[in-house]
Amino acid sequence: MSALNGKIAVVTGSGRGIGREIALKLAADGAAIVVNDLDEEPAAQTVADIEAAGGRAVACPGSVTEEGFAERFVGTAVDELGGLDIIVNNAGYTWDSVVQKMTDEQWDAILDVHLKAPFRILRAAQPVISGLVKAARAEGREVPCRKVVNISSIAGLGGNAGQANYAAAKAGVTGLTKTIAKEWGRYNVTVNTIAFGLITTRLTEAPAGGDGSIDVAGREIKVGVNPQLLDAMAAQIPLGRAGTPQEAAGAVYLLCRPESDYVSAQTLVCGGGYMI
């Protein structure tokens, strides 16, 4: 029997990149997934791929920073899949500048997506989880171990030049994780953080033709890292290379399995041995 059979997971930013691989990984082990992406098409594609492999999934597209999104996201899990067992706060992007050139808009946008959005989702999930736990105890049933995995970065542990907003947000994720672990321990929920190192995604790989960008709420955000800089960064990693989205998803998967039921309030670095 698959370890996650019967579990219901919500994964933000799971239409593409690392989030997609997390959704596919959890679904392959039996979990039903609420897939989220800014855009409907990639969310629908991930759902289709999960269903084609014999799994269950539904889409909940939209920005995690929108008012009311958290309630809609959690509600989709409950109303369409029947519960809530795993929360993965993964959605995000970077918008870099050195501090003297960083605007309030840049600061607020990155704090909103990486820190405020997870906070809102956890706040919306609390009444649902509390209610499920109370119902189980009232009926004399065992309360299953539920999981929260918040995605952070090594930038949140040691800072990174040009990323005051991103590093501050990801450092905040650590504080949020440790606090919710203490508040939700009574519900038998483990809450942990994965801090990614250099992972190859569309946000790090510059297109062959030069600079690339993504559209986020009407903003054109430059993505891609100079290949020479990527090579220099990889040279500092003991494993000698960037990680893949599949490997990043594997780290999240470890903290969603029953074997991690007594691991909580921790930060696992998925960085190929790189130390700050």
The residues annotated as belonging to the active site are 166
Cβ atoms within 10 A of the Cβ of 52, count?
8
Taking the C-alpha atoms of residue 55 and residue 125, their distance in angstroms, rounded to an integer, is: 23
Q: Specify the residue for token string 């594609």.
A: 45
Provide the 3-class DSSP secondary structure of residue 192. strand
Long-range contacts (CB closer than 8 Å, 24 or more residues apart) made by 97-104: 97/162, 98/161, 98/162, 99/164, 102/164, 102/165
CB-based contact 269:238 (threshold 8 Å): no
CB-based contact 22:245 (threshold 8 Å): no
CB-based contact 38:59 (threshold 8 Å): no
